[in-house]
Structure 1
Amino acid sequence: MRAYAVERLPEYMVPSAFVSLAELPLTPNGKLDQRSLPAPDFAGHMAGRAPRTEREGLLCSLFAEVLGLEQVGADDSFFELGGDSILSIQLVSRARSAGLLFSAREVFTHQSAAALATVAGATAPAAGAERQEGTGSLAATPIMHWLRELGGSWKGFNQSMAVQVPKGADPARLRTTVQAVLDHHDVLRMRAVPTADDWELSVPPRGAVSAEDALRRVPATGLDARAWEALVESEGEAARARLAPDAGVMVQFVWFDRGPQCPGRLLIVAHHLVMDGVSWRILLPDLAAAWQDTAAGGRPELAPVPTSFRRWSRLLAENAGTPARTAELPRWQELAGAADPLPGTGTPDRARDVAGTTRSLTERLPSEVTQALLTTVPAAFHAGVNDVLLSGLALAVLERRRAGYREERGTGAGGADTDTALLLDLEGHGREEIVPEADLSRTVGWFTSLHPVSIDPGPVTDDELRAPGAALGRALKRIKEQLRTLPDNGIGYGMLRHLRSDGAAALAGRPAPQIGFNYLGRFPAMAPATGSARSTADAADWAVVPGVRGPLPRDPDMSVGHALEINAMTQDLPDGPELTVTWSWPAALFDEDDIAALAAAWFRMLGALAEHAEAPDAGGYTPSDLSLAALSQDEIEDLEAELRDII
């Protein structure tokens, strides 16, 4: 059927999924009951056209591997199957290991295996000098400067992850595995000393950090769930306390040895200066590869790192001085000074509002809604997952603002009396392709970009906020276009703010947005065994073990960057993907009931967007999708309506 459609329809009209039904659901009037049609199940995705060439076949298998699908067709869109920008980097990395070379940008412009096969080249061996370029002194990146200026203690600022270790693991082999990644990824050996207005950063040569010092074995046999959780908590906090960036102690490995008959657990605690969400997707597979290579005494041979973190920091500094960055400055000045009303109970105080005073709330979105947000909704609106999530958040904040406005004034329905725009700090993965010769698909480090953005859903009435409808779709289109106007996904803001004196003078001193938002992308996860605690769930060797509570991510007296921080991620569980969102705030600024109401409103808006996307007239293109045509949104929608009438 797909091949038949491809021969007769333009590409954008070819269905992204086919669903088999015994019969079509009908209304009492005998018409098609569109609301009763099942949503496409991409987890049980039936692949379309079979690959015709060896290269197409390889790319189809890589698509399926990264997306967690059994099979992918040669013409299937990577993003309509649930891919995102972070997964595209992972795809680039795995393709490189398999001998194919293309960029993450090319994944966005050539979204199918068939299209990528036409542009992919053969990988070239990494330059011999690159290994040497990874060591020595290096320049601080914008996000490092942000941390230095934040204030308070950040010695233990970390990310952590737990993976399953094969049962009966040999201690010497595990040390060799850990040593391999410490030697291979230079930034894990970095020494970082802050000064009054800069950093002293350096990376020593391979072997300078010993696995003997970085790896700790902890006996953990015969523990019940409560004792296990207590042990992990105490050892995780001890690992955090051992981090010492000024001495080059950036990562700690804690091996929980559960005996020869039970798989162990390896808790990895890495300082945030050397680790981000994408880096875990590089480090963890490398640990597994190094372990496999050491079988029968073999020597680990990890895939090369094309561009070192040290070289990237230098390229960033060079790019910050280009005319293109200079031209961005007025736009960032305008954004940094935007209004930012947010209901709260207190005024932010950097000295008072530290990590030790924060409270948190974690909510999970049902898999059926999450699945739609990853596939159906982005496909309908030709948008990214971030566009959808941020649209829901802007609508939720607008609803809560109006509720607070009415409560304060004792009025009825709200409307034009409240601001519709939302200013927030948006985190990105930071691995933007701004320098053609840089390939960061295999580089471990803290690449995060952070920049303000104002998103405005436009005029939406209270009634339109309460139910799925075209108004929510219009809001998503507006916000998608607003995000598209930011060059290079906003990476230039940090470069101007922290790497240029004129940029610092123009942007420093302005109040930071009250909300910080970060979507970490999709992670595979294993479900817990029946009747067991999540922390003791069996997973595949070297797979992430869910529910293992690592140490606190921040030192208690570390300053808080935002009044409200929202961290979201998707876990691919056996029953489907699940969006997990953690809300964090200083206790003096918000009541938990207020945050719970905002969280509920956000999930309600996301569910409404998912429901609206199923409507026959939902979705469509926006001007950034058709840049060559120079059409306005109204003109595009008029054309789409005419096409629907013809069809």
Structure 2
Amino acid sequence: MIPSFFMQVDKFPLNANGKIDSALLPVPVTRSNKLEEPETFNEKVLLQIFKSVLGLDDISIRDNFFELGGDSIQSIQICSLARQESIIISPKLIFENQTVAELAAIAKTENKVIIQPIATRGNVELTPIQEWFFAEHTASINHWNQSIVFSKDSCAQMEDIEKILSHIVEHHDGLLTLFEKRDNKYIGNIDSEHKTWELVYKDIHHLDEETRIRVRDEWESKAQVSLDISNGPIMKMLVLKEQPYKYRFFWVIHHLLIDAVSWRILLEDFNTLHDQALNNQTGRLAHKTSSFKDWSNFLKKYNESLMDPETLSYWEQKTKSEITDFKIAEDFIAKEERTMEKSFSEEETEFLIQGLSRQSKATVEEVLLSLIAKGLKQSFEVKNFWLEVEGHGREMVDETIDVTRTVGWFTAMYPILLHSDGTFDDTLKSTKNAIREIPNKGFDYGVIKYLRPGVIQEPDIYVTFNYLGRLDSQFKSSNSRDFGEFENKPKLHFLSFIQDGKLIIKIISKLAEEKMKLIMEAIGDVVMEIKGTEFDQGSLIESDFPDAMLTEEDLFHILNSNK
């Protein structure tokens, strides 16, 4: 069984054979199965926020956030909602204090000052992820977007939608950014005098279904290719009246200004303002957080004076690690990228996201990366490989800046060296160690790479991973393309998310189709294998028990004391 409690003792009682005598160990005081009710203000507020974000009702203040299936993106949502109630926490604190009770005890509440944007207009230096974009993209530079589709049964008047978008753009002023090239280098510029977005309305409800779908697809595809990062628009909303009481909203923004977390913020704000408009109420949004220009300025300051020298040393040494050639690199033979998708059942999803995470004390990302690593090992005997992770990048490394509700592209890309050999537990243990040794969840890597060019050696990477968390079930799909054609190094892209209670893993690649099938089948086989195998604690590591101050040797003795 997995140790659930740790108590400090002066020494371990031993039996005649020199092993720990568990019968002589003190009995820990455990809580009952009854849900422990919150008592303090912080506990009551945070418990309600946990329930709302996780979509669960039966949560105790002692339940572990990650064992409940929580992920890094949801940790940002919790911080944002908590700040609106004057409770100051950060994603880092959630990772270090994983229950409501622990968080409530250390959360700051005496600071009632809401952090406001400092700089909102003028030139904006590129952030590391934006530097990456311009370094990697030379063709179709205006067609690299993100879009969402949602429906509503009722729709405000178009002049009200116009006001809503104006309100949103003024509130999230990063959406006013356009980019110009100076001395062979791009720079952002925020100018409120230049409108950067468009609203288009089309009534197509009178058309037959086949024609309606064709016209819808044409308009959405036209919107995708109409964005212009230098002259605008850089954002467009298309509202289609499909039926008398059904409206389809297609919202597209160039990726330079948006990421997955930002979409959650924008959709929340749009729905809030739209509901207020329908009820003839004055539009109001939550307090502004730091602006994207503040963030850009902070990154420059962080690079110059705030970065820990040990973090710089870590990346200098880590990126020198050498591995054998990626065995399937020569199989990137398709002319265009294709997408292959695998959907897991609700039962399998619950097992992976909650059951396995709880047993192994692993995060969702650690479980998914281990599945990928084990799948590549079983399908192509790839034991060691570099993988590029896309994290949310909103690390709270300084208390003077708050980007929990800031709209922009914050993604942090950083490499992880993964290893898979032996059992799945061995792979998961290796993955956990590889991820947890990385400082600040990889936040510094892009800062070093692009703000201190030449300092670190870039690994040879053929695999990428991005976990989007739980997607709102109200999102619809579009047949339009977010990305245009561009030249870059072929890679094996893994994209995963949870929608309608089901885990979905996508592979996007120029890899030969039969090779992609082998990988997907191998991942499915791994899931079936671990579902049918009793958990043996082999993936537990000392960092799973941060309060116990265990060494690797201590944990080994504890786990093997009854064997």
TM-score (norm 2): 0.87
Report whether the alignment pairs 1:274 with 2:260.
no
Give the root-mean-square deviation of aligned CA atoms: 2.9
Which residue does 2:475 correspond to in 1?
545
Distance 1:197 1:579, change over 3 A: farther
Report whether the alignment pairs 1:514 with 2:462.
yes
Moved more, 513-522 or 359-368: 359-368
Equivalent residue of 1:147, what SS?
helix
User: Given the alignment, which residue of 59, 65, 78 partners 1:91?
Assistant: 78
User: Given the alignment, which residue of 524, 529, 552 partners 2:472?
Assistant: 524
Residues 307-326 of structure 1 deviation map (CA, whole Å, 9 limit, x = unaligned): 11111111111212347454
Which residue does 2:17 correspond to in 1?
none
Offset of residue 620 of structure 1: 6.3
1:238-317 equivalent positions in 2, closer than 5 A: 238-259=222-243, 261-317=244-300
User: Given the alignment, which residue of 481, 484, 504 partners 1:580?
Assistant: 504
Which residue does 1:321 correspond to in 2?
304
In 2, are the aligned partners of 1:189 and 1:249 still within 8 Å (CA)? Answer: no
Which residue does 1:443 correspond to in 2?
406
Amino acid corresponding to residue 357 of structure 1 in structure 2 = E
Residues 206-241 of structure 1 deviation map (CA, whole Å, 9 limit, x = unaligned): x6437xx51110213155654444333222211112
Amino acid corresponding to residue 73 of structure 1 in structure 2 = S
Amino acid corresponding to residue 517 of structure 1 in structure 2 = F
Which residue does 1:559 correspond to in 2?
487
> Using the alignment, how far apart are the partners of 1:225 and 1:602 within structure 2?
39
Residues 542-566 of structure 1 deviation map (CA, whole Å, 9 limit, x = unaligned): xx333x215312112x223542111
In 2, are the aligned partners of 1:182 and 1:209 still within 8 Å (CA)? Answer: no
> Using the alignment, how far apart are the partners of 1:441 and 1:9 within structure 2?
42
Offset of residue 244 of structure 1: 0.8
Offset of residue 340 of structure 1: 5.3
Equivalent residue of 1:392, what SS?
helix
1:557-636 equivalent positions in 2, closer than 5 A: 558-560=486-488, 562-571=490-499, 573=500, 577-586=501-510, 590-612=511-533, 614-615=534-535, 617-618=536-537, 621-626=540-545, 631-636=550-555
1:448-459 equivalent positions in 2, closer than 5 A: 448-457=411-420, 459=421
> Using the alignment, how far apart are the partners of 2:315 and 2:92 within structure 1?
24
Offset of residue 595 of structure 1: 0.7
In 2, are the aligned partners of 1:396 and 1:602 still within 8 Å (CA)? Answer: yes
In 2, are the aligned partners of 1:49 and 1:75 still within 8 Å (CA)? Answer: yes
Equivalent residue of 1:361, what SS?
strand
Report whether the alignment pairs 1:637 with 2:561.
no
In 1, are the aligned partners of 2:117 and 2:294 still within 8 Å (CA)? Answer: no
In 2, are the aligned partners of 1:340 and 1:423 still within 8 Å (CA)? Answer: no
Amino acid corresponding to residue 545 of structure 1 in structure 2 = F
> Using the alignment, how far apart are the partners of 1:172 and 1:203 within structure 2?
24
Report whether the alignment pairs 1:497 with 2:449.
yes
> Using the alignment, how far apart are the partners of 2:65 and 2:227 within structure 1?
39
> Using the alignment, how far apart are the partners of 1:79 and 1:631 within structure 2?
21
Distance 1:561 1:368, change over 3 A: farther
Which residue does 1:478 correspond to in 2?
430
Report whether the alignment pairs 1:138 with 2:138.
no
Offset of residue 177 of structure 1: 1.6
Residues 540-592 of structure 1 deviation map (CA, whole Å, 9 limit, x = unaligned): xxxx333x215312112x22354211111111x1xxx2112221112xxx210
In 1, are the aligned partners of 2:118 and 2:290 still within 8 Å (CA)? Answer: no
In 2, are the aligned partners of 1:92 and 1:101 still within 8 Å (CA)? Answer: yes
Report whether the alignment pairs 1:365 with 2:344.
yes
> Using the alignment, how far apart are the partners of 2:152 and 2:85 within structure 1?
26
> Structure 2 stretches of 5 or more lacking a match?
7-25
> Using the alignment, how far apart are the partners of 1:608 and 1:453 within structure 2?
25
Offset of residue 594 of structure 1: 0.5
Distance 1:194 1:551, change over 3 A: farther
> Structure 1 stretches of 5 or more lacking a match?
19-46, 403-418, 461-470, 526-543
Residues 456-483 of structure 1 deviation map (CA, whole Å, 9 limit, x = unaligned): 13x42xxxxxxxxxx3212211210111
In 2, are the aligned partners of 1:366 and 1:579 still within 8 Å (CA)? Answer: yes
Report whether the alignment pairs 1:80 with 2:67.
yes
Offset of residue 333 of structure 1: 4.3
> Using the alignment, how far apart are the partners of 2:78 and 2:27 within structure 1?
29
Distance 1:568 1:195, change over 3 A: farther
1:138-177 equivalent positions in 2, closer than 5 A: 138-153=124-139, 154-177=141-164
> Using the alignment, how far apart are the partners of 1:320 and 1:562 within structure 2?
31
> Using the alignment, how far apart are the partners of 2:234 and 2:72 within structure 1?
27
In 2, are the aligned partners of 1:335 and 1:452 still within 8 Å (CA)? Answer: no
Residues 320-343 of structure 1 deviation map (CA, whole Å, 9 limit, x = unaligned): 234745444454345445335334
> Using the alignment, how far apart are the partners of 1:225 and 1:374 within structure 2?
39
In 2, are the aligned partners of 1:64 and 1:72 still within 8 Å (CA)? Answer: yes
Offset of residue 606 of structure 1: 3.4
Which residue does 2:216 correspond to in 1?
232
In 2, are the aligned partners of 1:519 and 1:567 still within 8 Å (CA)? Answer: yes
Distance 1:168 1:140, change over 3 A: closer
In 1, are the aligned partners of 2:415 and 2:459 still within 8 Å (CA)? Answer: no
What is the count of residue pairs matched by the alignment?
538
Residues 72-107 of structure 1 deviation map (CA, whole Å, 9 limit, x = unaligned): 222222221111110010111122223432212222
> Using the alignment, how far apart are the partners of 2:364 and 2:324 within structure 1?
24
Equivalent residue of 1:163, what SS?
strand
Which residue does 1:465 correspond to in 2?
none
Amino acid corresponding to residue 426 of structure 1 in structure 2 = V
**Sequence identity (%):** 24
